[in-house]
Amino acid sequence: MFDPLGFYQKLSARERYKEPSLFFLKIQALLLGVSFLLIFLIFGFFFSLLSLFVKGIRLWVSLGKGAILLGILALPFILLVLWGLLFVGAGILHFFVLVLGGKKGYKETFKVVAYASAPLIFSFLPFINWLVSVYVLVLQVVGLHKRQKLSWGRSVAAVLLPWLVLVVLVIAFLFFLINNMVLF
């Protein structure tokens, strides 16, 4: 996070999918753990305070504890889904890397996306979470520049074009919905 140019330059070309995947999963597990803990503390405080004033709140407290237990049990499944989305996201990004002249294979793009997720550990913090998202994109730009041998401009374009395509598709979909609404 603090020396991305040096990090991506020193990253071994022999490294496969295991190390970046484990790094990504550790970041996500820690983020989910912190998020679950915060939710538990906030809802625990809220229901404890509410129980002073409302009879029968014990049922809701029990349901809340059950939801927390369910969240903890679902954690491996959530991590598995996030890991799959890592591969999909790297694939989408790699398509744009190829279009813009990337010199290396999918594996290098995958490593960039996985390691650029490091700042996400701070995304649970209010007022900082949007900065974290921007910094993840910056780390992806730096990583593509170093690992895919793209120019800075092409690296920026490769990272921003998927988002631009998504925005255009959402606007087109909304436009389609609005134009095809049946008025009652």
pLDDT in tens, 167-184: 999 999 998 888 887 554
**Which has the closest alpha carbon to 85: 21, 147, 181, 137?**
21
Domain-located, residue 85: yes
Q: Is residue 15 part of a domain?
A: yes
**Amino acid in position 177:** L
Whether the predicted pLDDT of 60 surpasses 60: no
| Tally of residues, the chain | 184
Q: Within a domain: residue 184?
A: no
The answer to whether the beta carbons of residues 147 and 11 sit under 8 Å apart is: yes
Q: How confident is the model at residue 21 (pLDDT cuts 50, 70, 90)?
A: very high
117: in domain: yes
Domain carrying residue 38 = 4-179
Q: Is residue 134 part of a domain?
A: yes
Q: Is residue 50 part of a domain?
A: yes
Within a domain: 124? yes
What's the whole-model pTM score?
0.81
Number of domains in the chain: 1
Asked whether residue 43 is assigned to any structural domain, the reply reads yes
